[in-house]
Structure 1
Amino acid sequence: MLKGNREQELIELAQKMIQAKSYSGEEKQAAETIGEFCKANGFDDVIYDRYGNVIGIIKGNRPGPKVLFDGHIDTVPVSDESKWTQKPFAGEIVDGKLYGRGTSDMKGAVSAFTAAAKYFAEDTNRDFAGEILIAGVVHEECFEGIAAREISKNFKPDYVIIGEASQLNVKIGQRGRGEIVVETFGKPAHSANPEKGINAVYKMSKVINAIRDLVPTEHPVLGKGILELTDIKSAPYPGASVVPEYCRATYDRRLLVGETKESVIAPIRELLDKLMAEDSELKAKVSYAVGEEMCYTGNKIEGERFFPGWLYDQDEAWVQAVVKELNNAGFNPEITQYNFCTNGSHYAGEAGIKTLGIGPSRENLAHTVDEYIEIEQLTKVCECYYGVMKALLV
């Protein structure tokens, strides 16, 4: 366990991070909290990129690999503070638990690997090979992996450690996520004379029923490539006696290793072509959703919502080196996969960078009322990150 001043310093950093309210696009205070800690504690450099990601760097005395610790500093909003028994932005500790929005998802992890980098540099007197990079990443809740592209482009890490919740277990993969949009186009008419129009919603219902019959792809480890309808919108809305001329359905597609934008969308496109050949009044198309948000820096972040899956072999030497070091430190991690999407979609899925996940707390605490992290998990994951640095840099 961390003891004394180090434990207190870590807890105080995590509390400051919780107090820095940071919804997506409003992460400036949280980024500056990390940046100020790094500057005050001997990091070689602190860099803010155009999206507002903050990157702290510690260089070893010898050349070697760059190990990047990634954690997002944006959070989902608190919809109703009155439902919380503890204030969501106070960072209060009750019965060994630190409460607040982002404690588990994932400011606790960001605080822990930032502190671990400081302690590792102090204890080794920087006599290690390579560089430690810690990254507080923006806009992950909106775009898994998009802001991370800027980090890997600028710093080119050799290894990435994702700090998402894992209860101190090692994660070597995840399903990705695609947001697929299906649109149907009809013809408006007065609803008193519907035969004069083409109802886009009726056409969409035919499409939806057909899509449900598509057989999902499957992977022996990651499971099924689920395709699930998440919302439907029609236009004009409200209808006000008008036959809708447009309908849009959004699907969440869980992506497996090796699936591409084209391979995922092709079965739906082929299905639509078949349906349109059978029904001359059906006009439909499929595409990926495109997101666009503003960063606190004033710059725009945008991207197609396609975030690949990834998976590494647990027997790879670098994975086993990390597990061995964690075992030596008294931990006994399971090697599994994340059930949700992370910035690993970019690092591993797009860029092919060796990536694994280790985080504190439970994933089912994310986005919840009275979100918390146990102090014991916070301190233990700091020790885990220290062990990763020892495994990959010494």
Structure 2
Amino acid sequence: MDEARRDDLVQLCQGLVRYPSPSGEEGEIAAFLRSVMVSLGYDSVHVDGYGSLIGTVDFGSPGPTLLLEAQMDHAESGDPGEWRHYPFGGRVESGRIYGRGATDQKGILAAMVLALAWLKQDRRESLCGRAVMAAMVHQESFERAASKLVADRVSPDGVVSGEPSDLTVERGQRGRASIAVDTFGRMEHSSMGDNSSADMMVRLVSRLKEDYVPKVDPFFGEATLTLTSLHSYPVDVRTTMPVRCRATFDRRILPGETAESVMRDIKASISSAVRDIPGLEARAFLDGGDGHCYTGAMISSEGFAPAWEIEEEHPFVGLVLEGVAEAGLEPILSNRSGFGTNGCIYGGEMSVPTVVFGPSRRELAHVVDEYIEVDQLALGCKCYGSIAEKFLARKEEIPGGEGSKA
């Protein structure tokens, strides 16, 4: 990559970081990125009902479709006073671009957008099919719904999900279930007793954690169960016993586990606790919730996303590794599964050959003074272009169902 292109890449990453874009508020960054895609010569740029951008580079002759995708939204930045660099400044210092989302995933967005534009400029006549870049909304909360809408429109033959993988190729991830557990009590003055719904929840959470024995997979690790929030209702009424208390758990899913099997285990533990704890009333259910998109549409989640895995011998994995090598990097197939990604739809539900690949490290996501290294960003951009070139130069079909499994 020459210096002019490297500068363009840094500037685009900076520009993206300067747009605050929490989930549901991606409208301004989407408008900016759409204008960038149009100016770069993308053949079409579509905005779907939820607000994700779908930019297409068409190479003219029939062939496969490769989807590169990354998110526009980001985690909350917290108190800007805790940051050494303003979270939406995009400051470059000591070879790093600082700001919320620089690693997760605005640097990746910039790298993907430019990689496909430059591939069109440099190699249009020698390739076939089309490359699609999807800039996603609501990945932090409603990744399943948002990616399903994109997948239905694009119908990809292969997917590279952009996540900070330290430039290694990841071939699967644990799934995720969001489980809500409610306990119930009577609303009365707090001086009247101690068996409130909150008291009951404390005992039930302890029991659920005690009963839970995580399944373990040598590649994916543990199917963890993590308490993420506790709320009682009415809220902030200190002299009234709460009529209801809700705990929310994050349950990581291994291949072969289903929503039904996960909830069966939780409900069995609750039933046992109800028999042992006098006065306990409780229920459990998957709780994906719903939210607003910047387009005005409502988006919702079932609260469950499956695990997915593609076999390391799959031709698509080999092709991606070859692309990484041709970009000048040592091709490394990661020995660990990735973060939660949109791959749960492409690789899990649709059995489309899918890998996770991107610059930077997952440990830098969601932290104060988040940054991405410019050298890694540039290498990631080269790799995305090289992977797309390898994929679109092929005339034979990449098999999907064989070797790609939920």
Q: Is the 8 A contact 1:61 1:127 kept in 2?
A: no
Say which of 312, 315, 323 aligns to 1:314: 312
Q: CA deviation at 1:96?
A: 1.3
| Cα distance in structure 2, aligned partners of 1:125 and 1:154 | 23
Q: Deviations over 1:111-149 (max 9, x none)?
A: 101111011111112431211000110111122332111
Q: CA deviation at 1:4?
A: 2.8
In structure 2, the partner of 1:273 is 271
Q: CA deviation at 1:324?
A: 2.0
In structure 2, the partner of 1:101 is 100
| Cα distance in structure 2, aligned partners of 1:174 and 1:392 | 23
Q: Is the 8 A contact 2:220 2:337 kept in 1?
A: no
Alignment of 1:1-394 (within 5 A): 2-194=1-193, 198-212=195-209, 213-278=211-276, 281-336=279-334, 337-394=336-393
Q: Which one has a larger percent strand, Structure 1 or Structure 2?
A: 1
In structure 1, the partner of 2:399 is none
| Cα distance in structure 1, aligned partners of 2:224 and 2:153 | 34
Could you list the structure 1 runs, at least 4 aligned residues long, displaced by more than 4 angstroms after superposition: 277-280
Q: Is the 8 A contact 2:208 2:270 kept in 1?
A: no
In structure 2, the CA distance between the partners of 1:239 and 1:376, relative to structure 1 (3 Å rule), is: same
- Equivalent residue pairs, number: 391
Q: Deviations over 1:11-64 (max 9, x none)?
A: 221121112221212212211222112211221100001111011101123211
The amino acid that maps onto 2:294 is: Y
| Cα distance in structure 1, aligned partners of 2:238 and 2:82 | 37
The amino acid that maps onto 1:66 is: T
| Cα distance in structure 2, aligned partners of 1:328 and 1:271 | 52
Q: CA deviation at 1:339?
A: 4.2
Moved more, 218-227 or 32-41: 32-41
| Cα distance in structure 1, aligned partners of 2:80 and 2:257 | 41
Q: Is the 8 A contact 1:169 1:358 kept in 2?
A: yes
Moved more, 285-294 or 228-237: 228-237
| Cα distance in structure 1, aligned partners of 2:261 and 2:204 | 19
Q: Is the 8 A contact 1:173 1:312 kept in 2?
A: yes
| Cα distance in structure 2, aligned partners of 1:279 and 1:112 | 55
Moved more, 203-212 or 284-293: 203-212
Give the match's secondary structure for 2:115: helix
Q: Is the 8 A contact 1:200 1:244 kept in 2?
A: yes
The amino acid that maps onto 1:24 is: S
The amino acid that maps onto 1:217 is: K
TM-score by length of 2: 0.92
Q: Is the 8 A contact 2:322 2:331 kept in 1?
A: no
| Cα distance in structure 2, aligned partners of 1:231 and 1:4 | 47
Q: CA deviation at 1:280?
A: 6.4
Q: Is the 8 A contact 2:68 2:162 kept in 1?
A: yes
- Alignment RMSD (CA, Å): 1.7
| Cα distance in structure 2, aligned partners of 1:82 and 1:278 | 49
In structure 2, the CA distance between the partners of 1:280 and 1:367, relative to structure 1 (3 Å rule), is: closer
Q: Is the 8 A contact 1:145 1:347 kept in 2?
A: no
Structure 2 residue runs of 5 or longer lacking an equivalent are 394-406
| Cα distance in structure 1, aligned partners of 2:40 and 2:340 | 32
| Cα distance in structure 2, aligned partners of 1:108 and 1:240 | 46
Q: Is the 8 A contact 1:140 1:146 kept in 2?
A: no
The amino acid that maps onto 1:194 is: G
Moved more, 132-141 or 362-371: 362-371
In structure 2, the CA distance between the partners of 1:285 and 1:55, relative to structure 1 (3 Å rule), is: same
| Cα distance in structure 2, aligned partners of 1:194 and 1:153 | 55
TM-score by length of 1: 0.94
Q: CA deviation at 1:166?
A: 0.8
Moved more, 324-333 or 236-245: 236-245
Q: Is the 8 A contact 2:170 2:338 kept in 1?
A: no
Give the match's secondary structure for 1:125: helix
